[in-house]
Structure 1
Amino acid sequence: MIPTSLRPALFVLALLALGPVQFVYALTLPEALNRVEARSSVVSARTERRDAQANLERALRDPLAVRADTLQAEQRLSLAEASLERARYAALSELTNAYTGVLQVNEQAALAERGLALSERSLEIATIRLENGSATQLDLGDAQASLDEAQNTLRAAREARDLALNNLASILGEEVEAADLEGIPGTFFAELPPLEAALESAERHPDLLSVEQQAELAALSADVLDPLYAPQTQIDTAESQLASARSAFEETRRGFLLQVRNLYSQAENARETLRLEAASLANARARLQTQRQRLEGGLISQIEFEQAVVATAQARLEAEGARVGYLSALLELQAGSLVPLGGPFAASLGGER
């Protein structure tokens, strides 16, 4: 018999014999989004913003700086700030899509496992029915084909899960397991902001701002020319360039705002899909409850109830896909228009402004 005083030491030795202990912790979406500031695109944009700020301060202190020098320095800072905001929103979208991608394929794998179990059960039933003369060889072949298909589906789902996990791990810089990821908090499913707010925010998007700044520079170039010291041909050329720059800006603006409207429409469609899939899931759950009662009452077989369970799992997967689709559409709208969603997304952007 082992003395009581030696038992703790032997327990530790037993643990050591099992190899190094790996601590596994659950990863939440808010924790994943805390990596936003570490993304290379955000780091680069933050560096450019600091450089642009320093450049503007130098220009303002320079007694020899002319209006064009100051304007270009101010424009560089404005563009750097807008680019940093876009980089952060794009990183939020990238991280969220990678995280929810794992959740989705994990659900798909779980559904595929249920489907495989059901197919195995169906093959077993078909075999029994063939033996007692209530089924044909064709019925058995159909059951076997369904089983083969279920096995292929499960294999594909597991491969997709591995790819999604590798993608998330490469973004986070650490290995994760699908089972360690927690679900998406309801607070992340924000209300769709008004279209007017998205269009207004889009006016400061760097893709549009850069073209507007070219028109501002062209206006300054024309404004500083005077017939007293500039030839008329130079003035005419500057005014022509200004007209071209303004025309280019208006054309770019129309096209860009159309893109924002399309993003908004996609978010509206995703919201409607979410509503419909949520209703379908509620109906599936109600049917499952009915089938459970019928099973308990001896009105249906176990295999029929198992089919209802799989159908409900399929409805849950589709509803989860709709939730992820709506969330992705919201984040794409935010990155494409710079309209802030606020809430938990704003809390993830706690870095240097």
Structure 2
Amino acid sequence: MKRLIVWTLLLLPALAQPLPEALRKGLETPGVANARLDREGRARDLARTLEDPLRTPLSELQARQALELAEARLQRALAQAENEILAAYLQALEASLQVGLAAKAVQVADLALRATEIRVRGGGATPLELLEAQNRLLEARSNLEVARRGEESAQASLENLLGPWRPEGVAELPPLPQEDLLETLLRENVDLLQLKQSLELLSFQRGLLDETFTPRREIEALEEQIQALETSLDNLERSLGVGLRARYAQLGPLLQGAQAAAEAYRAAQERYAAEERRFRAGLTSQLALLQQELALLQAQLALAQARHAYLRAYYGLLASR
């Protein structure tokens, strides 16, 4: 099946391992491997059935259905494996950014404390202000420790899936998919396909019954099963369609949110560059420059989170099959 996303690969530094490479590891997961083996087995079964001169239309239908279902299960397993890898990858990436932000906050709080100590000695600040500055530094250090533990946990979860892996920031997002993707996902849904196949099989079996040789009671029981399956199929198709449309509706606003966050990040970069020029000219303090750098890192984290929210929704939609 053609992949739904075409990624733009950038020149990457050594050791960098971008998201597309991580997602390709989904092919190696146990669930995907087992589903592939099952599909291969069903393909062999169908080939044997077609070579059998004594095969019946019913046995051929069942063999074709088994292969179709195995293929759908393989696609679901791959989509779910990619979604799981994506979640771990983005979590590790965000955790790393959180550590950088927390470390910068410690620098800001430490420098602010030293500035407050100087002001207290000069009579320009109160002991209460000094205490508040000390508390802010303690809180910043505590936040840094929490962030580091979170990074260790997230990295361990990622490596449990992929082995040694260092995630890299996601620069390119997949475009908003066409709405006809929903029809494809609905058509390939494993649960819906199973019901369709059951209905097809029962309808085929009903066509084999002859009222001359089959009690009417058996025919009516089979027809009741067909009607019940038709109702279940309609209900499931309607329910799945509503869920897919709801997931799809989230993508547009999330992509716009990522674009807005990118604009905010560019603005933060410009503010930091201006503050750096002012610092070099002696027009602002080192503390003010550090605070502007902290704001830049906050904007960077917000951008990453906005992009990741879109990616999670995108791959979550693809896994709804």
Q: Structure 1-normalised TM-score?
A: 0.82
1:41-120 aligned at under 5 Å gives the runs: 41-120=31-110
Moved more, 90-99 or 311-320: 90-99
Cα distance in 1 for partners of 2:269, 2:261 equals: 12
Query: Which residue in the other structure is 1:34 paired with?
Result: 24
Are the counterparts in 1 of residues 185 and 318 from structure 2 also a CA contact under 8 Å? Answer: no
Query: Which residue in the other structure is 2:276 paired with?
Result: 292
**Given the alignment, which residue of 252, 255, 263 partners 2:239?**
255
Give the drift of 1:64: 4.3
Query: Which residue in the other structure is 1:271 paired with?
Result: 255
**Given the alignment, which residue of 237, 241, 264 partners 2:221?**
237
Cα distance in 2 for partners of 1:27, 1:286 equals: 29
Report SS of the residue matched to 2:129: helix
Matched, 1:175 2:161: no
Q: Which string of whole-angstrom CA distances, capped at 9 and with x for unpartnered residues, describes residues 125-156 of structure 1?
A: 11111111111111111111111111111111
1:124-135 aligned at under 5 Å gives the runs: 124-135=114-125
Are the counterparts in 2 of residues 107 and 317 from structure 1 also a CA contact under 8 Å? Answer: yes
Q: Structure 2-normalised TM-score?
A: 0.90
Q: Which string of whole-angstrom CA distances, capped at 9 and with x for unpartnered residues, describes residues 196-249 of structure 1?
A: 222233212212111211211221122211211111111111111111111110
Are the counterparts in 2 of residues 111 and 313 from structure 1 also a CA contact under 8 Å? Answer: yes
Counterpart code for 2:320: G
Counterpart code for 1:326: Y
Matched, 1:141 2:127: no
Query: Which residue in the other structure is 1:156 paired with?
Result: 146
Give the drift of 1:326: 1.4
Query: Which residue in the other structure is 2:175 paired with?
Result: 191
Give the drift of 1:291: 2.6
Cα distance in 2 for partners of 1:50, 1:118 equals: 60
Query: Which residue in the other structure is 1:341 paired with?
Result: none
What root-mean-square deviation, in Å, do the aligned CA atoms of Structure 1 and Structure 2 show? 1.9
Give the drift of 1:63: 4.2
Are the counterparts in 2 of residues 83 and 206 from structure 1 also a CA contact under 8 Å? Answer: yes
Give the drift of 1:297: 4.6
Give the drift of 1:61: 3.2
Q: Which string of whole-angstrom CA distances, capped at 9 and with x for unpartnered residues, describes residues 87-111 of structure 1?
A: 1122222223222322211111011
Counterpart code for 2:132: D
Counterpart code for 1:258: V
The 3 A distance-change label for structure 1 pair 185 and 279 is: closer
- Stretches of structure 2 that go unaligned for 5 or more consecutive residues are 1-13
**Given the alignment, which residue of 266, 284, 304 partners 1:320?**
304
Q: Which string of whole-angstrom CA distances, capped at 9 and with x for unpartnered residues, describes residues 15-59 of structure 1?
A: xxxxxxxxx944333333332221001001001101111222233
Counterpart code for 1:236: E
Are the counterparts in 2 of residues 222 and 242 from structure 1 also a CA contact under 8 Å? Answer: no
Q: Which string of whole-angstrom CA distances, capped at 9 and with x for unpartnered residues, describes residues 267-323 of structure 1?
A: 223212202211221222222233334434544322122111101110011101111
Cα distance in 1 for partners of 2:60, 2:131 equals: 80
Percent sequence identity is 31
What is the number of equivalent residue pairs in this alignment? 308
**Given the alignment, which residue of 287, 292, 310 partners 1:303?**
287
Query: Which residue in the other structure is 1:12 paired with?
Result: none
Cα distance in 1 for partners of 2:210, 2:182 equals: 41
